[in-house]
Amino acid sequence: MVHSPHIYQKCEIKQEKSNLIGQRGCRLVLAFFAFVAKMTHKCIENIELVFDLADKLAVT
């Protein structure tokens, strides 16, 4: 059975495009998480303080 190289080329191009989209998607997600982490960093610190207080109150 003989496959034309044209079909293979099409598949390779499709794969390259999906890889590119995948890489961009990952970068976007990472950038988004970095942004959220920066924005919520102070909130997280406050939440940790609240939990620390709650622990201290629970212990006493």
Query: Which range marks the domain in which residue 46 is found?
Result: 21-59
Position 31 in a domain: yes
The pLDDT of residue 38 is 79
Domain count, the chain: 1
- Rounded to whole angstroms, the Cα distance separating 46 from 40 reads 10
Going by pLDDT thresholds of 50, 70 and 90, the confidence category of residue 8 is: low
1 pLDDT exceeds 60?
A: no
Position 39 in a domain: yes
Please state whether the predicted TM-score (pTM) of the whole model is above 0.85.
Answer: no
Position 6 in a domain: no
Position 7 in a domain: no
Position 5 in a domain: no
- Rounded to whole angstroms, the Cα distance separating 17 from 26 reads 14
The pLDDT of residue 32 is 84
Position 10 in a domain: no
> How far is CA 35 from each of CA 20, 27, 39, 42, rounded to the nearest angstrom?
22, 12, 6, 13
